[in-house]
Amino acid sequence: MAGIKGIGEARTYDGSSLRIGIIHARWNTTIISALLDGCLSELAKAGVKKENIVVQSVPGSYELPFAVQKMYTASQTQHASSGNTGVGGIITSATADLLGGSVTDLTKLPTSTSKEKDDASGKGGGSTQPFDAIIAIGALIKGSTMHFEYISDAVSHGLMKVQLELGVPVIFGLLTLLTEEQGLERAGIAQGGHNHGEDWGKAAVELGVMRQGWT
């Protein structure tokens, strides 16, 4: 029998006008890499242009809310200083690092090619519009201390807070895992698993399109 869980009705959205940011943690790299690939693949299917996807990494999940906040506000600054004219514009080096910066750390991740990573980093000169949605990806695995509970709680609340304060959809790509095996299943690596990164890519497109309609 088919499961009842999942994203529900499959509606397609045109993501070709969207600019999407992705911030991912580097802890538990195998899981993160697969989730990121799932995410990027759904963004591509929805028509989001490679040059309009910016991927940045942070050390661990705890850093996600701060990085999402900075990434979004940097895109607003970039948009304002470009005279809202689309590609180009004067941006500070800090903003440039954040928005067009390389994703060299991702070269350690096994699945995408460096060319794809360069394209995904926005180096190709995409839009300077503020992000329509940001996807935060992390995988927390429970250990023997209370660390997992504190970080899961803090990051969940932090991501919710930041999206409501900034008014930009932040897709919750944080896996809170009791075991590594659960992570492999949810990253679509273990047999019979499903890659949740794909759902996050779809959710980002849906919310990004909705937000453009509301503003």
| Residue 151 binds to ligand DLZ (criterion: CB under 6 A) | yes
Q: What is the DSSP letter of 103?
A: -
- Answer for which of 120, 140, 162, 171 binds ligand DLZ (CB under 6 A) is 140
- Count of Cβ atoms closer than 10 Å to residue 93 Cβ: 8
Q: Which is nearer to ligand DLZ, 140 or 207 (CB)?
A: 140
Q: Which of 141, 166, 190, 210 binds ligand DLZ (CB under 6 A)?
A: 141
Minimum distance of ligand DLZ from residue 150's CB (angstroms) = 10
The answer to whether residue 24 is catalytic is no
Strands of 133-141's sheet, edge to edge?
53-58, 20-25, 133-141, 170-177
Instruction: Assess 181 for contact with ligand DLZ (CB under 6 A).
Output: no
What residues contact 67, with CB distance under 8 A and at least 6 apart?
23, 56, 58, 136
Q: Which two tokens stand for residue 114?
A: 């460096």
Residues 106, 39, 166, CA angle at the centre, nearest 5°? 90
Of 63, 7, 69, 67, nearest to 38 (Cα)?
Answer: 7
Give the number of C-alpha atoms closer than 13 A to the C-alpha of residue 59, restricted to the C-beta side: 2
* Alpha carbon distance 161, 116 (integer Å): 32
Based on its alpha-carbon atoms, the radius of gyration of the chain, rounded to whole angstroms, reads 17
- Contact flag: residue 180 with ligand DLZ (CB under 6 A): no
Of positions 6, 7, 14, 59, contacts ligand DLZ by CB under 6 A: 59
Q: What is the smallest separation between the CB atom of 178 and ligand DLZ, expressed in angstroms?
A: 11
Pick 118 or 180: Cβ nearer ligand DLZ = 180
Q: How far, in Å, CA of 68 to CA of 94, rounded?
A: 15
For the segment 100-139, give every residue that binds ligand DLZ (CB under 6 A).
138-139
Which residue in 13, 17, 27, 211 binds ligand DLZ (CB under 6 A)?
27
Nearest to ligand DLZ of 28, 195 (CB atom):
28
In the shown chain, the binding pattern of residues 184 to 213 toward ligand DLZ, with x for contact by CB under 6 A and - for none, equals: ------------------------------
Nearest residue (CB) to ligand DLZ, 20 versus 58: 58
Position among 18, 22, 28, 33 found at the interface with ligand DLZ (CB under 6 A): 28
* Among the listed residues 164, 132, 166, 175, the one whose alpha carbon sits nearest the alpha carbon of residue 25: 175
Applying CB under 6 A, which residues contact ligand DLZ?
25, 27-28, 59-63, 138-141, 143, 147, 151
Active-site positions read 147
